[in-house]
């Protein structure tokens, strides 16, 4: 199983997807993978999220499939049973970390403040989701965080767009960003016959490269 840092390095963007329809989710995941993105985070915020995780794991088996917005040990076990290959929390959730440690499952815990990052580092986590990244001050804030935690690698998420992502990805402490912008409706700029998600994924896969 890949470790968390290896997962962060798979693609410059981890799409964060909130699912409302299992069929749409499978199609979207396939488009993202075919567009060049190797990871995805499905948020555990809707009733159909875990059903979608099971369906995506079967339909797009090479996609590295994460489950996010995981706050409790019970949710972590459910995500693992559904086929999650990594778990994400938008903030501190030590009981989720304990489940991941026991299961040897890659984990990306979340922090907003320097003290929260310090707490996670004390727990042994060196790869951290910074959320909401745009609110804490964007790339310049993360540059300051990285000076204090030189060994930590951050996945900033929250308020990041296709336009702002390159400024984050320039920083050596940021192997990837997270964002929900890939699951947005068509703009009309996509090549003919191509789904907007696939076109957005192709552009995202090239960001920072
Ligand atoms: C998350 O769960 O990481 C966020 O909802 C993603 O934030 P965004 O929608 O601003 O990209």
What is the CA(18)–ligand 1 centre distance, in A?
A: 9
The CATH class given to the 4-205 domain equals alpha beta
Which is nearest to 109 in space by CA: 95, 122, 98, 125? Answer: 125
What pTM value is reported for the model? Answer: 0.94
DSSP assigned state of 144: H
Residue range 21-62, pLDDT digits in tens: 998 899 999 999 999 999 999 999 999 999 999 999 999 999
Taking residues 152-178, what's their average pLDDT? Answer: 97
pLDDT above 90 for 187: no
Taking residues 75-100, what's their average pLDDT? Answer: 97
- Residue 41: active-site member: yes
Counting every residue written for the chain, the total comes to 209
Q: Where are the domains of the chain?
A: 4-205
What is the CA(143)–ligand 1 centre distance, in A?
A: 20
What is the CA(156)–ligand 1 centre distance, in A?
A: 10
Buried b (16+ CB within 10 A) or exposed e, 58-84: eebeebbbbbbbbeebebbebbbebbb
pLDDT above 90 for 1: no
Predicted local distance difference test score (pLDDT) of residue 32? 95
Residue range 102-150, pLDDT digits in tens: 999 999 999 999 999 999 999 999 999 999 999 999 999 999 999 999 9
**Atom 11 (ligand 1) nearest CA:** 179
What percent of the chain is predicted at pLDDT more than 70? 94
The span from the CA of 171 to the CA of 143, in Å, is: 7
Predicted local distance difference test score (pLDDT) of residue 186? 60
Predicted local distance difference test score (pLDDT) of residue 62? 97
Taking residues 80-93, what's their average pLDDT? Answer: 97
- Residue 51: active-site member: no
Which is nearest to 7 in space by CA: 73, 63, 77? Answer: 63
Q: Is 21 left (phi over 0), alpha (psi -120 to 50) or beta?
A: beta
**Atom 9 (ligand 1) nearest CA:** 180
- Hey, what are 154's tokens? 């951050």
Predicted local distance difference test score (pLDDT) of residue 191? 66
- Hey, what are 82's tokens? 């559904």
> Pocket of ligand 1, candidates 69, 131, 138, 182: which has the most ligand atoms within 8 Å of its Cβ, to mutate?
131
The span from the CA of 2 to the CA of 49, in Å, is: 23
Q: Are 134 and 115 in contact (CB under 8 A)?
A: no
Predicted local distance difference test score (pLDDT) of residue 84? 97
């Amino acid at each position: 199983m890949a470790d968390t840092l290896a997962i962060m390095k798979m693609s410059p963007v981890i799409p964060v997807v909130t699912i409302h329809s299992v069929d749409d989710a499978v199609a979207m995941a396939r488009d993202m993978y075919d567009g060049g993105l190797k990871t995805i985070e499905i948020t555990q915020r809707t009733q159909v999220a875990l059903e979608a995780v099971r369906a995506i794991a079967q339909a797009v088996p090479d996609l590295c499939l994460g489950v996010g917005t995981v706050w409790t040990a019970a949710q972590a076990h459910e995500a693992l049973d559904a086929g999650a290959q990594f778990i994400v929390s938008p903030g501190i959730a030590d009981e989720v970390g304990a489940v991941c440690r026991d299961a040897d499952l890659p984990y990306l815990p979340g922090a907003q403040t320097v003290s929260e990052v310090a707490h996670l580092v004390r727990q042994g986590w060196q790869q951290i989701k910074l959320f909401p990244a745009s609110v804490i001050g964007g790339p310049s804030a993360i540059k300051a965080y990285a000076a204090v935690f030189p060994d930590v690698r951050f996945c900033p998420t929250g308020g990041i767009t296709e336009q702002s992502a390159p400024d984050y990805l320039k920083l050596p402490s940021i192997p990837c960003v997270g964002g929900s912008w890939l699951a947005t409706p068509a703009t009309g700029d996509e090549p003919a016959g191509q789904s907007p998600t696939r076109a957005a994924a192709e552009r995202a896969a090239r960001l920072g490269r």
